[in-house]
A = this chain, B = another copy of it.
């Protein structure tokens, strides 16, 4: 495997000459055109921002539903359709059907694609039958099926042009991410953190689906694509350990005292193997180390770097994997042509709470600086210098975050509070946030106009009891039992505006349940997002004041989008409750700890939603 990866990486380097292909230019032009929505988060920077302003604060109260399209598929409908040249491409939860709707002819179905997937794949999806959407480039629509197959469809007629198997479901791996087209590559991820899958991110050549490169989250540097220049400006990110007691701390009350930068030993190599100190089972821990990559990927064309986060280390029982467990819970910046890592920063070393670090990284500029902001599941909002990974800001997104008192900016290390450390067969109580994070996959939006981030939030705490769990290939390997409950606000969610440089919120709205859908912000300073109790809302970007709301058919876990057609601005969002918050109700589970703890916390959802959630695209206009 080592040589293959290296060879492929080299092939990528040599392919540099094809960078400015026509396809890449077309996609870049589409992303710049606000009439379109051609990329999962609108643009390479993952802003979820549109300059469309026909719908403004004065008239948004008149917004009304223009049309809807029921997908005929139940369960969580995450992500958003693409809109390209008067065609809307809608995807669904498993079985991941795709519909091309003709906006010029009353949404007539131009073509549809019905993947034939083995129904048993559904059992591999930890957090509902979700799929986060489609990619577009080179005249092709890309679908990452839950069963690991990446498919390229002719955007004109839906004909399959190529497909390739990205992950092997026999190992318990699956896919839920949207494929992201970046230049002449299609980037796709891997789910399976709850199955002990050793995950990776893969780049395929857009023309023929051949693998360009693959970077594992754990393992040898040759396979994580870590080379000489890695973490050049922040070598302490490559420390062997950032905590004292990293071996001895694995007992009840044991602490993981943060080392200062001076106390740390760096830079080190091969940390993807060496930070997994004890074999977990038969193999080295890193070989079942998780680090899933099922989120959103951003890209800076000038730096030629793509950014993404890796998820939790497997298993959720931390005691069986002493060490920092690199490179789980890490933001990576990689050269998109070669996959080689420029920098990598681990947010939650030796995770004890499933604070899966895969949330989006949004690229923006301020005060002449190239920045990247990331709202992590662990409850901190991070801002980096994205050129080299230097950590500029790391602040609690909400004061209820208690597992760490702070992140030491100099060392980059979160200072854990031993009271909330978790250990096998000890039921740790009152940990905030819950494993769902202060925010989960639901992406935030950024407005260059207000300079603010708009962040959908969970407000949930938990009890967490790690338990012994044997690894069996292809079987769930969770290793913890959870219950979840509302945080100190007394509600389960919120939505806020965040200042990425100050590291604090400008305004904060409470929400009855998690705001589990992605945000949209427009240049008319309106923010759109949906809620699990079926509201689709417009709020004032400056104040958070509610300007409008509409009750859609099922809870929203989709991301709001906007586009324009024949001169008219439309706003749209998928409804269909699900995702982790909705999985228990979708499956009819009612024990507190069912659905990895979601059943108890979200039981009130059945007062607002039929189960399972029925999927639909909802489109609004003035």
Contact = CB atoms under 8 A, between A and B. Distances in A.
Contact of A610 (B65, B69, B550): B69
Interface stretch (A159-167, A384-392, A429-437, A551-559): A551-559
Interface string A594-611: 000000000000111111
Contact of A69 (B64, B97, B553): B553
A89 to B, nearest CB: 13
A399 interface: no
Contacts of A106: 551
Interface residues of A, number: 39
B610 A97 contact: yes
B74 A608 contact: no
Interface string A122-156: 00000000000000000000000000000000000
A233 to B, nearest CB: 50
Nearest to A63: B64
A68 B613 contact: no
A553 B74 CA distance: 13
Interface string A97-124: 1010000001111001010000000000
Contact of A608 (B108, B612, B613): B108
Please indicate which of the listed interface residues A552, A553, A609 has the most CB atoms of chain B within 10 Å of its own CB: A553
Contacts of A575: 70
B551 A68 contact: yes
A129 B607 CA distance: 25
A70 B608 contact: no
A546 to B, nearest CB: 14
A290 to B, nearest CB: 32
Nearest to A111: B607
A125 B99 CA distance: 29
A608 B614 CA distance: 18
A591 B101 CA distance: 25
Given A71-B610, A72-B612, A109-B609, 18 more contacts: A65-B550, A67-B550, A67-B551, A69-B610, A70-B70, A70-B554, A70-B614, A70-B615, A70-B616, A72-B554, A72-B609, A73-B610, A73-B614, A108-B607, A109-B606, A109-B607, A112-B606, A553-B553
Interface of A: 64-74, 92, 97, 99, 106-109, 112, 114, 550-554, 575-576, 588, 606-616
* Closest 8 pairs (CB-CB, A-B): A70-B553, A70-B614, A67-B551, A72-B610, A70-B554, A68-B553, A64-B64, A65-B65
